[in-house]
Amino acid sequence: MTSDSPIGVPGLPWGEAERDDWRSRQVRQRSYRDDIVTRIDALGDRFERIAYGQVRYADDAYTLLALRSRVMHPSLPSLLVTGGVHGYETSGVLGALAFLDQVADAYADRVNLLVAPCISPWAYERIHRWNYDAVDPNRNFRSDGPVEATALMALTRSFAGDYLMHIDLHETTDTDKTQFGPALSARDGKEFVEEEIPDGFYLVADSADPQLAFQQAIIAEVEKVTHIAPPDARGEIIGSPVIARGIIEYPLARLGLCPSITKARFKTTTEVYPDSPRATPDNCTLAQVTAIRAGLDFALAQHG
């Protein structure tokens, strides 16, 4: 069991004892090495494999891995794809890998690629949102953030002067409501306010520069492979106003979210809904790959 909600005293943020209690309940349920490292290694003959950091927690050690274009052309724009910032959001990890395996060759002479498929491997194995320290990497892409965030930030800085596009691949799941939302409230000593989980795919734009036509181009293509989340009765998706069909916006930098780490003109976060009766794992992966491709086609057309 990985139940988080009963830990701690209601109204009081967790201390070290509560975090230890939470951690002791997290069970390794799958293998980063078997599932992900083997796939990255298999792509190593087509892309350059980069070990960009080490995560060490108690007896566990993970090598953070990315793949990039074998030949880097300074004159070409660059694309950054990130997955597994939240380890439990499996289609983001598999979508990043599937993009490299199935699609990336078609763009080889048009864009430099950097893909970090599984940014939080400890959480991948435990099917959780947080790292070992009960920290959500995706609120902490800051210089004093956890290693999952700072290692990626260092990698992206070393790779390209700037990026044309960054797409960060996520899911919104039923466990956000049943497990992770209550755990977050317990951790921070706050009352849990339940949000409706949207049934379908949506995108999160940067409120500082939403690039709406870019987001809409992605929605138009993803809609061909999966359904788009409708707004709720308040015209919102998970508490944020819908600014266009299937699109909400957050202040990415203020929240320390992953797509704030580059100055890419085109940024987005995908949110696939894997718990729909209409969704399958393959379909969720396809939605992620379709989003990358559609965004890249739009960005390259704008780039000229």
Which letter, b or e, does each residue of 96-107 get, where b requires 16 or more Cβ atoms within 10 Å of its Cβ?
bbbbbbeebeeb
Q: Cβ closer to Zn ion: 119 or 151?
A: 119
CB of 238 to Zn ion, least distance (A): 11
Binding residue count for Zn ion, defined by CB under 5 A: 3
Query: Which range touches Zn ion (CB under 5 A), out of 10-18, 170-178, 237-245, 278-286?
Result: 170-178
Please report, for residues 49, 102, 120, 207, 212, the alpha-carbon distance to residue 105 in angstroms, rounded to integers and kept in the order given. Answer: 16, 7, 26, 32, 27
CB of residue 173 vs Zn ion: minimum separation in angstroms?
Answer: 9
Interacting span for Zn ion (CB under 5 A) from 46-54, 167-175, 216-224, 227-235: 167-175
- Minimum Å distance from CB 29 to Zn ion? 18
Q: Using the minimum distance from each CB to Zn ion, give the nearer residue, 89 or 249.
A: 89
Helix ranges (DSSP H) in the chain: 16-24, 32, 38-42, 90-98, 121-126, 147-159, 174-175, 181-188, 212-222, 252-255, 281-303
Q: Which is nearer to Zn ion, 47 or 273 (CB)?
A: 273
For 143, counting Cβ atoms within 10 Å of its Cβ (0-12 exposed, 13-18 middle, 19+ buried), the class is exposed
Of 128, 166, 170, 267, the one binding Zn ion by CB under 5 A: 170
Is 293 among the residues that bind Zn ion (CB under 5 A)? Answer: no
State which residue, 18 or 89, has the beta carbon closest to Zn ion: 89
Query: Between 111 and 292, whose beta carbon lies closer to Zn ion?
Result: 292
Site string for Zn ion, 116-155 (x = CB under 5 A): ----------------------------------------
Return the residues of window 32-61 that contact Zn ion according to CB under 5 A. none
Smallest gap from residue 170 Cβ to Zn ion (A): 3
The values of phi and psi at residue 113, to 5°, are -110, 140
Q: Which amino acid is at 230?
A: P
Binding mask 58-97 for Zn ion (x = CB under 5 A): ----------------------------x--x--------
Nearer to Zn ion, 39 or 170 (CB): 170
Q: Is 133 or 162 the residue whose CB approaches Zn ion more closely?
A: 133
Q: How far is the CB of 32 from Zn ion (least distance, A)?
A: 17
Cα–Cα distance between 237 and 232 in angstroms, integer?
6
- Which of 222, 201, 203 is CA-nearest to residue 274? 201
81, containing H or E segment: strand 78-83
CB of 172 to Zn ion, least distance (A): 7
User: Are the beta carbons of 273 and 172 closer than 8 angstroms?
Assistant: yes
User: Which of 207, 209, 221, 227 has its CA nearest to residue 272?
Assistant: 227
Helix H or strand E segment including 60: strand 60-68
Least separation in angstroms between CB 229 and Zn ion: 15
CA distance 223 to 202: 10
Nearest to 96 by CA among 272, 265, 217: 272
In the complex, what is the shortest distance from the CB of residue 236 to Zn ion, in angstroms, rounded to a whole number?
Answer: 18
Cβ nearer to Zn ion, comparing 47 with 180: 180
Which residues are at the interface with Zn ion (CB under 5 A)? 86, 89, 170
